[in-house]
Amino acid sequence: MFSELLVNAVAAGLLLGGFYAAVSLGLSIAFGLLDVVNIAHPVFVILGAYAAYVMNSRFGWDPVLAGLAFTPVFYLLGMAVYRVYYASFERKGEEALRGLVFFFGVMFIIEVLLLLQYGVDYRLVDAPYIGKSFQLGAVSIAYRLFVPFLGGLALAAAVYLFLGNTYFGRAIQGVSQDSLALRLMGADPIRIKTIAFGIAIATASLAGALLIIIGPVEPSIGREYIGRVFAIAVLGGMGSIGGTFAASLILGVVESLTSTFYGPSWSTAVSFGVLLLVLALRPAGLFGR
């Protein structure tokens, strides 16, 4: 009985972690690679969830499909946001504190726009796999969590391959380390960063779709994720995609185990406790460079 519970708890944690990876990847790019403290990232995820909701309830699209379809839109949105951010703060070298407040403001604005358009009611999507589950040995796996896990995995793999194997990808990794060298090579660091931030926000589209597959969404629940995504980005070692994915899984499993064996009430606190410990003992993160 106990071992079955343990196996299931770990499995549930891994599934949850895969989803956390989808939500955190964008922040890991923006915060870890570009040094942009995008505190509004979770609210972009909520925006993605509403896009999926609208396409699902109005046209019957599968939420994952809607999430993919909106990715280019979010990419452009991200580029636009970065342009404003760059022109207003980064160029003047004032990004640290003011940039943060800027994203706070962006968060409020997006939240309210969703509120005005769709109200405060919880929204859900419909898909044939929601509510079904399958058995894998002793483990029962709900599609509602399995699909987001796959989504997170695919997203992480795609970003990982992109960063490692393409010209732009390598340039993005370069920009975080040495933008001067990049400029000498003939690449415009601002353009590279704009593209990178666009990609960061683009991941929020799919992440939002995955979020609304898991459960109901209302405009302000993004706030619940702020702490968690930053925790993951830091634990993952700032900008390391593999590290982010691993950190997501660890957080998911820790939460799930606490939830199963100790008491769900402490599950969030435990993951933040882990974060505090890591910050105090190893500020570069578990998988720091």
Partner 1 sequence: MRGRTLLGIAIAVVIGGYLTTRFVSHGYFYFASYVILQYIMLATAWNILGGYTGYVNFGSAAFFAVGAYTSIVLIKAFKAYFIFLALAGGLASALLGLGIGYLTLRLRGVFFSIATLALAVVLQTAVINWEYVGGARGIYILRARSMPFFSSYTEFLFFMMVLFAVLSVAAAWWIENSWVGRGLAAIRDNEEAAECMGVPTLRLKLFATTVSGFIMGLAGAPFPYYVTYVEPSSAFNLDYAVNSLAMPMIGGTTSWLGPLVGAVLLGAAQQIATVTISSAWNLLIVGVVLVAFVILAPEGIVGLALRLARRKGG
Partner 2 sequence: MKRTGRFWVRGWTLAAWLAAASLLSGAWAPAARAAEKPIKIGFGMALTGGLAANGKAALLSMQIWADDVNAKGGLLGRKVELVVYDDQTKPAAVPAIYTKLLDVDKVNFVVSGYGTNLIAPAMPIVMERGLVFMGLFGLAVNEKFQYKSYFQIMPSGPSPMTDWSRGFFDIAAKQTPKPTTVALVGADAEFAINAVSGARQNAKKMGLKIVYDKTYPPATVDYTPIVRAIKATNPDVVFVGSYPPDSVGMVQAAHEVGLKPKLFGGGMVGLQYAAFLARLGPKLNGIVNYDFWVPEPTLNFPGIEAFLKKYQAKAAQAGVDPLGHYLPPWSYAYLEVLGQAITATKSTDQKKVADYIRSHEFTTIVGKVKFGSNGEWATSRVLQVQFQGIKDSKIDQFHKPGKRIVVYPEAWKSGNIQYPYSSAK
| Site residues for partner 2 per CB under 8 A | 1, 5, 8-9, 12-13, 15-16, 19, 115, 118-124, 126, 130-133, 140, 142, 144-145, 214-216, 218, 220-221, 224, 255-257, 259-261, 263-265, 267-268
- The distance of closest approach from Cβ of residue 279 to partner 1 in the complex, given in angstroms and rounded to an integer, is 5
Residue-wise over 159-191: b if at least 16 C-beta within 10 A, else e? bbeebeeeeebbbbbbbbeebeebeeeebebbe
In the bound state with partner 2, the residue whose beta carbon lies nearer, of 101 and 269, is 269
- The distance of closest approach from Cβ of residue 64 to partner 2 in the complex, given in angstroms and rounded to an integer, is 18
In the bound state with partner 1, the residue whose beta carbon lies nearer, of 149 and 230, is 230
DSSP state letter for 221:
G
Residue 275 touches which of partner 1, partner 2, none (Cβ within 5-8 Å per kind): partner 1
Task: Tell me the residue type at 58.
Answer: R
Burial class, 197, CB count within 10 angstroms (exposed 0-12 / middle 13-18 / buried 19+): buried
DSSP state letter for 285:
-
Structure token pair of residue 98: 């003011």
What residue ranges bind partner 1 (CB under 8 A)? 31, 37, 84, 88-89, 92, 94, 96-102, 104-109, 111-113, 115-116, 223, 226-227, 230-231, 234, 265-266, 268-269, 272-273, 275-276, 279-280, 283
Q: Are 39 and 81 in contact (CB under 8 A)?
A: no
Residue 279 touches which of partner 2, partner 1, none (Cβ within 5-8 Å per kind): partner 1
In the bound state with partner 1, the residue whose beta carbon lies nearer, of 65 and 270, is 270
Choose among 190, 287, 218: nearest CA to 246.
287
- The distance of closest approach from Cβ of residue 139 to partner 2 in the complex, given in angstroms and rounded to an integer, is 10
Residue 124 touches which of partner 1, partner 2, none (Cβ within 5-8 Å per kind): partner 2
User: How many CA atoms, within 13 angstroms, populate the side-chain half-sphere of residue 2?
Assistant: 1
Residue 289 touches which of partner 2, partner 1, none (Cβ within 5-8 Å per kind): none
CA 196 vs CA 60, 133, 159: distances in Å: 32, 37, 11
Choose among 93, 106, 87: nearest CA to 38.
106
Residue 185 touches which of partner 1, partner 2, none (Cβ within 5-8 Å per kind): none
- The distance of closest approach from Cβ of residue 30 to partner 1 in the complex, given in angstroms and rounded to an integer, is 12
